Structure 1
Amino acid sequence: MSLALYGHLFSSYTQKVLLALYENGTPFEFRAIWQDTPQHVAEWLKRWPLRKFPMLLDGDRTVVETSIIIEYLQLNHPGPVRLIPADPMKALDVRFLDRFFDLHVMNMMQLAVNGALTGDPVKRKDGHDESIAKLELAYAWLDGELAGRAWAAGSDFTMADCAAAPSLFYADWVHRIPESYPTLRAYRTRLLARPSFARCVEDARQFRPLFPLGAPDRD
């Protein structure tokens, strides 16, 4: 087997790439970055000392950064689900939404998590407050943008949805999507029902105690 993915099942960015692999039924080996797999940790750090995962290994080739990994998979290991459209303008829309979910939802959610991980009550509150403010802006924009669409960029499931699923999953734990954004809430529900993402959620369930803000008893 030539493909190996290094990451952690509870990691939102790892889940983003897992979604792309599951959607296309792409064969790969998952190599967990964890305390009981030092051999995988050593190989990961040797190839990518910036200490960010996931990392894809294709033979001797190392591929990092989630959006690049998904683009690489489509070029070199294509499957029945085309996650980046062939039409250049439609592809641009998908890439924009992919970046929006990463930068304005996932990373804004992480502000609260990082604040909680410091153990400092002041930093915890500041991080949580900033996260809520930024997520509220993102939620409001998305609720309007997604109107009339089944998936992020239209009728087809794309790389943008691979980014959206873990982003909205964890963001809703930090700042629950208000009922005043019914379109966004319904979209998150559809993502959770997608078999590829349902698999990600279930496989990571055992790690919920690691969530520093306390994982809610739902989802």
Structure 2
Amino acid sequence: MIDLYYWPTPNGHKITLFLEEAGLDYRIVPVDIGRGAQFAPEFLAIAPNNKMPAIVDHAPGDGGAPISIFESGAILRYLADKAGRFDGVAADADAARARRQRIEVDEWLCWQVAGLGPMTGQYGHFHVYTPEDVPYAKARYRNEALRLLGVLDARLAGREWIAGATYSIADMAAYPWINVYDKAPLDLAPFPHLRRWQAAIAARPATARAYALARQVNPNAGQPLSDEEKKILFGQGAR
């Protein structure tokens, strides 16, 4: 059994996408980030960066004690290794080819974690959440978000999935970060390959199941943040 410490955000969706696809047994432990649950000592013991998602696998493959993992990219890699699925490696690949396909997947997984997620998050912060207008920041992150979408669109030209031979953790990592903000949508018209890929993932039954969890866990998902929630989410410094 896997405990998934989760709240319905793009990074949270990455992990439910995998777990629903793979059919691994898991239970959700809600982490209400708007109320500061990410700063609870018991959560910090497994996620010292006070960010969700995190997991605890009570039945790791080595047969040892439960293992905790934080950071969404590390979780996806661990789960792909555990399940032996969605690692982008073709079923008929020999050892050398499998290594190369795995590297390809990890490249794009890191691309999402280091670029698409943080830059799109900053785009959303300055277009949706800030109380004042900051034109330079808005333009900076809009341009970078669009640049990254262009990179992804070019990558998807002539290929079904982002990396490797099959639907993989690279796709699961990127998908939740495409046009996250209803109040500040980005124009996807210039990106036909991305739109085709996005529609293919949206049509997967496991995707529907994963996203249905959002309202179950947080009935207020999608509602505006209160001032207190913004303070908790955006007002933390070193302490």
TM-score by length of structure 2 reads 0.75
Task: Identify the residue that residue 69 of structure 1 maps to in structure 2.
Answer: 75
Per-residue deviation at 1:100?
A: 1.8
Q: Which runs of 4+ in 1 moved over 6 A?
A: none
Q: Is the 8 A contact 2:157 2:193 kept in 1?
A: yes
Deviates more, 1:195-204 or 1:19-28: 195-204
Task: Identify the residue that residue 216 of structure 1 maps to in structure 2.
Answer: none
Choose the corresponding residue for 1:192, options 199, 202, 205: 202
Amino acid aligned to 1:112: Y
Q: Deviations over 1:93-120 (max 9, x none)?
A: 1111112223322211111233343422
Q: Is the 8 A contact 1:33 1:40 kept in 2?
A: no
Q: Is the 8 A contact 2:54 2:69 kept in 1?
A: yes
Choose the corresponding residue for 1:145, options 155, 161, 171: 155
SS at 1:68 equivalent: helix
| Residue 42 of structure 2 corresponds to residue 23 of structure 1 | no
Task: Identify the residue that residue 233 of structure 2 maps to in structure 1.
Answer: none
How large is the RMSD of aligned CA atoms in angstroms? 2.8
Counterparts in 2 of 1:36 and 1:110: CA distance versus 1, 3 Å = closer
Per-residue deviation at 1:38?
A: 5.8
Per-residue deviation at 1:29?
A: 0.9
Q: Is the 8 A contact 1:5 1:54 kept in 2?
A: yes
Counterpart mapping for 1:9-158 below 5 A: 9=8, 11-34=9-32, 41-59=40-58, 60-76=66-82, 78=83, 81-85=85-89, 87-115=98-126, 116-122=128-134, 125-153=135-163, 155-158=165-168
Amino acid aligned to 1:15: H
SS at 1:52 equivalent: coil
Per-residue deviation at 1:171?
A: 6.6
Counterparts in 2 of 1:141 and 1:177: CA distance versus 1, 3 Å = same
SS at 2:180 equivalent: helix
| Larger proportion of helix | 1
Larger Rg: 2
SS at 1:6 equivalent: strand
SS at 1:204 equivalent: helix
2: distance between equivalents of 1:177 and 1:195? 26
Q: Is the 8 A contact 1:177 1:185 kept in 2?
A: no
- Count of matched residue positions in the alignment of Structure 1 and Structure 2: 206
Q: Is the 8 A contact 1:57 1:63 kept in 2?
A: yes
* Structure 2 spans left out of the alignment, 5+ residues: 59-65, 90-94, 227-239
Deviates more, 1:30-39 or 1:198-207: 30-39
Task: Identify the residue that residue 178 of structure 2 maps to in structure 1.
Answer: 168
Identity between Structure 1 and Structure 2 (%): 24
Amino acid aligned to 1:31: V
2: distance between equivalents of 1:36 and 1:137? 34
| Residue 225 of structure 2 corresponds to residue 208 of structure 1 | no
Amino acid aligned to 2:173: A
Q: Is the 8 A contact 2:55 2:68 kept in 1?
A: yes
